[in-house]
Amino acid sequence: MTTPKATRGRPLASDQDTREKLLDTATLLFSSQGIAATTVAAVARQAGVTAAMVHYYFKNRDQLIEAVVDERVSLFIHSIWDPITGDEPPQQMILGIVDRMISSTEKMPWMPALWVREVLSDGGQLRERMVQRVPLDKVALFAESIARGQQAGHINPALEPNLIFISVIGLTMLPLAMARTLRDKPLLPIMKKVALMDKSILARHIKSLLIHGLASTHADE
């Protein structure tokens, strides 16, 4: 196999370009058809290179999967959690997560489908890898902020702080994944409307559900 040569130990620019293309290709294939169904040969074919070229950049399939998680999926995780300090009001924190999830999927449109296929589903090959990369300190800050809001009477006391983020993920990622799946093959007319819905409408819908669900009922008691 002929591979790009480095000059005095420094990789050529085309080396990095090719590697990025392979990562992008693998990420899209993992999202559209699943990791189990995606071989190194399929990635090579889609990228227009040989399987040997893929192995030049990634020693094996597992290394390719790890690179996708570290250099693509982890970007999504960091975009959601990095801004959280624990000092912001709980509702602001939660609504900020919704905004960041939706805006991040504009840049990473493959993420919702990949999340459903490989994280949510039984047997998903990214579940354990994702768990290992979740910033547990930020998750703890999130739950603590919700609990403080409940104690102060600002957040519905019937809610479980540790389940709220899971609810936010479901409200946000599932409709985004469905929209992509149903865009070309709507099962019902209403599904076509959902598939073509502007993301600003989805954000407004999710925030309205959350705001009313989070609201404390103390004032009415």
Among candidates 157, 145, 134, 142, which has minimal Cα distance to 213? 157
Q: Can you spell out the DSSP letters for 27-67?
A: HHHHHHH-STT--HHHHHHHHTS-HHHHHHHSSSHHHHHHH
The DSSP code for 184 is S
Instruction: Select the more confidently predicted residue: 166 or 180.
Output: 166
The Cα 132–Cα 193 span in angstroms is: 37
pLDDT for 1 beyond 50: no
The predicted model gives 61-67 an average pLDDT of: 96
Q: What is the pTM of this model?
A: 0.81
Instruction: Select the more confidently predicted residue: 89 or 201.
Output: 89
Residues 207-218: tens digit of each pLDDT = 999 999 988 765
Residues 104-149: tens digit of each pLDDT = 999 999 999 999 999 988 888 999 998 899 999 999 999 999 999 9
What token pair was written down for 82?
């990095």
What token pair was written down for 109?
């449109």
- Mean pLDDT of the residues in the chain: 86
- For the chain, domains (ranges, CATH) are 72-220 (1.10.357.10)
Give the side-chain half-sphere CA count within 13 A for 97: 26
